[in-house]
A = this chain, B = another copy of it.
Amino acid sequence: MLTNPRAERVKAVRALGRRSSRERAGRFVAEGPQAVREVLAFRPETVADLYVDPQVSERRADILTLAEEHDVRVHECSPEVIAAMVDTGQPQGLVAVCRPVDVPLKDALGASPQLVVVLTNVRDPGNAGTVIRAADVAGADAVLVSDASVDVYNPKVVRSTVGSLWHLPIVRGVSVLELFDACRGSGLRLLAADGVGTQLLPDTDVRTPHAWVMGNEAWGLEPAVRDACDEVVRVPIYGHAESLNLAMAATLCLYTSAQVMRRDA
């Protein structure tokens, strides 16, 4: 039982809240029952260590059973140790230290991708995580995150994906141009989602393979990136709102694609 919140091991886990420490260690943190269950269910081989508060794990036997089945190293900790490991106001008694799950670009796109999302210059962790979740909801083939975006292993991104981080291939650290080349090479049309577009979402052909390209939450897509896309698509607004936020726009675009593709399949 780990009881010292100031132990080196505890500090090392907490340090994973910083990008530099994550990159040095090649590890990141998933916390709380939902995220921990998803990583154990979908990618158990990537869990290096699981830290549990026995009071919490008692109530979540499903999680401990999964960890046992997959020979994950489980360490019991006091609530104070768990709280010292994570940078959240409400520690939830379960912390998994995980290995990265991102894949090379060519593996993510596979033989014939149908629906993909490209994130460029996305900085807000909550928005980035929700877009990954939206891609998962839509059954997208992959999420491609450009090198100028927030780190997908940022604890706030991980939390807001609610497990989707482990459900579909994620690519990171690749330039937008390289992502675009690969998408085109795989037969994907590039659809920029941007409020300046003149083409409307309901008038857009989403029956054939395509990638949705989403930009920064505050200022949208860079003009050069937008111009490199095949079409610039706007989500029509029916009321007085000036815009949608990134997560709403991504949800609507990806979901529209999924529904049309499934209906016509």
Cβ of A238 under 8 Å from chain B = yes
Check B137–A248 contact: CB distance below 8 A.
yes
Q: Among B237, B239, B240, B247, which residue has its beta carbon within 8 angstroms of that of A248?
A: B247
Check A248–B202 contact: CB distance below 8 A.
no
Given A259-B202, A263-B202, A241 contacting B136 (CB threshold 8 A): yes
9 A-B pairs closest in CB distance: A139-B238, A167-B240, A139-B239, A136-B241, A136-B239, A137-B241, A248-B251, A238-B258, A137-B237
Check B238–A262 contact: CB distance below 8 A.
yes
Cβ of A10 under 8 Å from chain B = no
Check A162–B241 contact: CB distance below 8 A.
yes
A167 to B136, CA, bound (A): 32
Segment of A78-86, A127-135, A145-153 in the binding face: A127-135
Taking the nearest CB of chain B, how far is it from the CB of A141, in angstroms?
10
Check B240–A42 contact: CB distance below 8 A.
yes
Residues in B with CB closer than 8 Å to A263 are 202
Residues in B with CB closer than 8 Å to A242 are 162-163
Binding site for B on A (CB under 8 A): 42, 130, 133-140, 162-164, 167-168, 202, 235, 237-245, 247-248, 251-252, 255, 258-259, 262-263
Known interface pairs A137-B238, A247-B247; 6 further A-B residue pairs with C-beta atoms within 8 A, sorted by A's residue number: A133-B244, A133-B245, A136-B239, A167-B241, A202-B263, A251-B252
Residues in B with CB closer than 8 Å to A42 are 240
Check B130–A245 contact: CB distance below 8 A.
yes
A247 to B241, CA, bound (A): 16
CB<8 Å pairs between A and B, sample of 17:
A42-B240, A130-B248, A133-B241, A133-B245, A133-B248, A136-B240, A136-B241, A137-B239, A138-B238, A139-B238, A164-B239, A164-B241, A167-B240, A168-B239, A238-B258, A247-B248, A248-B251
